[in-house]
Structure 1
Amino acid sequence: MTARTENLNVVGFDHMPSPTEIKARVPMTPRAAETVLAGRRALMDILDRKDPRLFVIVGPCSIHDPVAGIDYARRLKGLAEEVKETIQVVMRVYFEKPRTSTGWKGFINDPRMDDSFHIEEGMERGRRFLLDVAEVGLPAATEALDPIAPQYYGDLISWTAIGARTAESQTHREIASGLSTPVGFKNGTDGSLEAAVNGVLSASRPHSFLGLSESGASAIIRTRGNSYGHLVLRGGAGRPNYDTVSVSLAEQALSKAKLPVNIVVDCSHANSWKKPELQPLVMRDVMHQIREGNRSILGVMIESFLEAGNQPIPSDLSKLRYGCSVTDACVDWATTEEMLRSTHNVLRDVIKARGKAA
């Protein structure tokens, strides 16, 4: 009788290896673990005001080519060493892409980029890529989209975003409450702050919910709450929200909710009208606010890759341009270097003064 009432629109159930199986194929290493833990400690110290530096989440809009991604990671590691006095660099490693309607869902869902959806392959290759980034010595940031995915690679992540489309989702707030990383909640696509602020508040509390255990069995997951939630301003409703008035309103909203006044500014998305060439201008404005005494902006996000712009996914994948995004447009490597180096120079005296005051 059950067969007549369920799975009427399901065409198959394919085997998916458990988190334990994937981790056995791509095991954590001592160097990678130290990179992840050091990254988390640094971010938590910044959010706790124990570390006066700024953190910068920087990298491709999405990972589609692990070779180009590791090329980028190695360059970024060198740059991170240059600016480490003032900036904690974290590489943006996004595998899952929320789609407004249709489109490529990201490396984990469709690693071959041909709508074959070998998720089991994507998960293993995604974990391997994160391990490689950690071996390079860079902490990684990602977006929590699929509620099961963190069990597969969460041990390799140092910072997590809850996106504008999911900040209002109870499922994602519950996930955030149990993550081992600081979590940034983005304001809504309409520019409103309410869902994100409520998300930070909800994630700070304990939750119990259905999930997946490491062995792949259904489980009731019980969390203690995440005290390192914060707000990410990404613009919305056709306007940016990184200006001083918008930041002040965000500070007031966090204070009213009795939450730490911790803010990250996303230089991309609506804050730059999705025009990558405007990201440096957003960054410059934010640095000016910090130099003028702002203490609530603790981090920024940049969408950056080896080549500027973006490209459609061709039917012949050999025609893909190396190091160029297949999702949102990015700034190129030269611009990335200039943005981080100029920020380092602008903030050097501010960071020193903060350090002495502490």
Structure 2
Amino acid sequence: MRVQKTENLNVSGFDPMPSPLEIHRAVPISDQGSATVLAGREALQAILDRRDPRIFVVVGPCSIHDPVAGLDYARRLKVLADAVSDRMVLVMRVYFQKPRTTTGWKGYINDPNLNDTFSIAEGMEKARKFLLEVTELGLPTATEALDSIAPQYLWDLICWTAIGARTSESQTHREMSSGLSTPVGFKNGTDGSVDTAINAILSAAQPHSFLGINARGLTSVVRTRGNRYGHLVLRGGGNRPNYDTVSVAMAEQALSKAGLPASIVIDCSHANSFKQPELQPLVMHDCVNQISGGNRSIVGLMVESFIEAGQQAIPADLDQLRYGCSVTDACVDWATTERMIRDAHAALPDPVLSRRMI
């Protein structure tokens, strides 16, 4: 009797992928890059531990699609980061993978040529090269973790990790986060509830064992120690924002009830600004006012920002792409970004001093 095939019925092929070790050898971390990553992680951990009274701001493009424009932005951000470093730690948002509700461009790793050729090996190496260039400028980096494979390729160059609203409930992402070397911000659910994110923080703090890969690309049982630097990111949801004082107070209560530190990052974009980038400055201003008024749970902010304002579709002729303009979510422009950061910096001296005294 002929045995019928039962697996891979909807798979059209398996393309070999270089191992993490091979990608690391092709783009090795430098002494400067390593120093930036370690210093960035230590600064973020100190803020979360309340050993550092500053706030951190994860700011940058919704996604990286053009490394030239991305590095242009990074150089500008480094100058600004140095200017406000007494009260703020600026971390560049360097997102290479984009979750999709249905379909769409999945990011620079999956499709670095923006033409549906899905040259993932090329994208992974280029993403690593870009991260190295940013860290060699002295800028800490932040990104979103979408799968359990990419960390072995890139996370030695990452300082802060986000777990998105759609994946905070995922056991795979909670297990992975328990082994990451960075602080991890878990976003509240798309319905606005913080329960999923709080459960994720609790889970990621514990040791786990799960299937993954090692540096040589071999399937392995990954055993983790647990990550005590998980924290909550409020991004709005359920057709309403949740950065207001009442929402923040309720989040503080939920964290306390779970036995967790009241460490909250406010995402000024997404549902908190109704996906209208021009509202992001208002959200940041409100959050800075809360800190000025004595709030001690807001430890960080997130801003979607690029060189040019708005968003553009990916054209068939890539020469028609507007330089420094997002191809995913709309962003505020550089002038607005600089004004937001400098205004926040000017408003922070008193609350920073009060946090230090406490």
Q: Pick the TM interval, shorter chain.
A: over 0.9
User: Is 1:295 paired with 2:323?
Assistant: no
Q: Using the alignment, how far apart are the partners of 2:148 and 2:7 within structure 1?
A: 22
TM-score, structure 2 as length reference: 0.99
Go from structure 1 to structure 2 and tell me whether the alpha carbon gap of 1:218 and 1:289 turns closer, same or farther (over 3 Å shift).
Answer: same
Matching residue of 2:241: 240
TM-score, structure 1 as length reference: 0.99
Matching residue of 1:210: 211
SS in 2 for 1:282: helix
Matching residue of 2:325: 324
Q: Using the alignment, how far apart are the partners of 1:64 and 1:101 within structure 2?
A: 20
Query: AA paired with 2:190?
Result: T
SS in 2 for 1:57: strand
RMSD over aligned Cα atoms:
0.8
SS in 1 for 2:308: coil
Q: Using the alignment, how far apart are the partners of 1:224 and 1:254 within structure 2?
A: 22
Matching residue of 2:100: 99
CA-CA distance at 1:146 after TM superposition? 1.5
Aligned counterparts, 1:1-358, within 5 A? 4-355=5-356, 357=357
SS in 2 for 1:200: helix
Query: AA paired with 1:291?
Result: S
Query: AA paired with 1:336?
Result: T
CA-CA distance at 1:352 after TM superposition? 2.5
Structure 1, unaligned runs of 5 or more: none
Query: AA paired with 2:346?
Result: N
SS in 2 for 1:322: coil
**How many residue pairs align between the two structures?**
357
Query: AA paired with 1:125?
Result: K
Q: Using the alignment, how far apart are the partners of 2:12 and 2:249 within structure 1?
A: 51
Q: Using the alignment, how far apart are the partners of 2:289 and 2:239 within structure 1?
A: 23
CA-CA distance at 1:3 after TM superposition? 6.7
Query: AA paired with 1:67?
Result: V
CA-CA distance at 1:21 after TM superposition? 0.1
CA-CA distance at 1:2 after TM superposition? 7.1
SS in 2 for 1:4: coil
Q: Using the alignment, how far apart are the partners of 1:352 and 1:32 within structure 2?
A: 31
Q: Deviations over 1:145-170 (max 9, x none)?
A: 01100000000000000000000000
CA-CA distance at 1:49 after TM superposition? 0.1
Q: Using the alignment, how far apart are the partners of 2:6 and 2:353 within structure 1?
A: 66
SS in 2 for 1:171: helix
Go from structure 1 to structure 2 and tell me whether the alpha carbon gap of 1:2 and 1:236 turns closer, same or farther (over 3 Å shift).
Answer: farther
Go from structure 1 to structure 2 and tell me whether the alpha carbon gap of 1:273 and 1:2 turns closer, same or farther (over 3 Å shift).
Answer: farther
Go from structure 1 to structure 2 and tell me whether the alpha carbon gap of 1:322 and 1:2 turns closer, same or farther (over 3 Å shift).
Answer: farther
Q: Deviations over 1:30-52 (max 9, x none)?
A: 00000000000000000000000
The answer as to whether partners of 2:296 and 2:355 remain within 8 angstroms in 1 is: no
CA-CA distance at 1:64 after TM superposition? 0.1
Structure 2, unaligned runs of 5 or more: none
In percent, how many aligned pairs have the same letter? 68
